[in-house]
Amino acid sequence: MYSSYRRKKFKSPFMNKLHEKYIRLSKKLKVYVKKILDKGHQHLTIMFIPHSEKKIFNFQISNFTISFFVIILVTIVIFSIISLNTHETDQKQLSQLSKQSKTREGQIVVFKQSSFMTIKNFHRFRKQIVRLSRNIGSDNNDIVFPFVGKGGIDYKITSGMKKKFGKHFSLPSEIKELNVLNNDVIRSTEQIKRINSFVENYKKVMAATPSSWPVAGGGFITSKYGYRPSPFTGIPSLHTGVDIAYWAGSPIKSTAEGVVSFVGMAGGYGLIVRIKHKYGFSTMYGHLQSANVKVGDNVRKGQVVAYMGNSGRSTGYHVHYEVHLGNLPIDPMPYLAVRIF
């Protein structure tokens, strides 16, 4: 009890002061509120006095009412300013959207024109593909485009598109034509792959087939394949190759890729180089000055294998060039004129 008594004793002066301050603050607040209410309840008299002798019209209005209307007026002004600024911003955005719309409209016109020209040019291209395929001997069934390859993109209007762009959304005819064009491009690509495969195989065949001029730098034919009077006896005999004359020591090139099967002297042909090629072909180069390869060497088309000379039974510097198919010599002339793609 003694401790409780001491707490009450020490706290009572503090509580008394706090209570006194609360009372003074409450009185001041009441006085302040009373002044505001008194001011607010004060009335102003507004009079309308006509020039004529009619009755004067007047009415009274309190300060509270005036304050209320002032607040309403200020609020209206503020919202009007905000609305005007928003309206100006919206107008600017509408103007930008209008410009963008015109730009898009122009781009769409150009897109339509470009699409039309692309489709037109591709139709020409497709005709050339068909023509090329027929020229290289492709089966007619391979060049009917509707049956060559499948794939591509089908542009269809989905429910998601209608939900996003509106139920009246539709694709322009150019998109449908581009869809057809895209599928045709895929089919044409397949056909081009076949043509490219044919050309690659053709190049491989031609690389392994005697089909080029054997003398580097030029030369001229002095004697063709076939029967002719012998330059030594004058008696007609079969000349089994062509004689090409040029400067002494001129490089002699292989007319096809292959493997060297013989290098050495061969009677009246002098020093010769014989090369075995694919598909039953072989070539022989005679009257050489020297050889640049040995038996078993793999040679490329156009590789220098020897140099022009006058060895063996010869009347001057030249190369005797033969083409054999199997074991039989054939006329080299058609093979000298063959060109590769």
**Residue 294, domain CATH:** 2.70.70.10
Q: What is the pLDDT of residue 52?
A: 67
Q: Which domain holds residue 201?
A: 121-207
Q: What is the pLDDT of residue 184?
A: 75
- pLDDT bracket for residue 322 (50, 70, 90): very high
Within a domain: 157: yes
Shared-domain flag, residues 229 and 323: yes
Single pTM value for the model = 0.52
7, pLDDT greater than 80: no
Q: What is the pLDDT of residue 150?
A: 43
Proportion of the chain above pLDDT 70, given as a percent: 77
Here the tokens at position 85 are 């600024």
Within a domain: 25: no
Within a domain: 103: no
Handedness of CA 185, 187, 189, 191 (dihedral sign): negative
Lowest-confidence range among 5-19, 65-79, 208-222, 257-271?
A: 5-19
Shared-domain flag, residues 254 and 305: yes
Shared-domain flag, residues 259 and 280: yes
The Cα 253–Cα 329 span in angstroms is 19
Shared-domain flag, residues 190 and 136: yes
- Residue 309 half-sphere exposure, CB side, CA atoms within 13 Å? 20
Shared-domain flag, residues 195 and 226: no
- For residue 125, the tally of other CB atoms under 10 A from its CB is 13
Shared-domain flag, residues 201 and 226: no
Number of domains in the chain: 2
Here the tokens at position 316 are 């001057």
Q: What is the pLDDT of residue 340?
A: 45
Last residue of a domain, one of 207, 239, 261: 207
Once rounded to an integer, what is the mean pLDDT over residues 41-55?
69
- pLDDT bracket for residue 224 (50, 70, 90): very high
Lowest-confidence range among 166-175, 177-186, 206-215, 317-326?
A: 166-175
Q: What is the pLDDT of residue 269?
A: 95
- pLDDT bracket for residue 239 (50, 70, 90): very high
Shared-domain flag, residues 233 and 133: no
Within a domain: 148: yes
Within a domain: 154: yes
Q: Phi and psi (nearest 5°) for 209?
A: -110, 135
Taking a C-beta distance cutoff of 8 angstroms, is the pair 209, 280 a contact?
no
Q: Please state, in angstroms and as integers, the Cα–Cα distance from residue 2 to each residue in 6, 7, 30, 311, following that order.
A: 6, 9, 42, 149
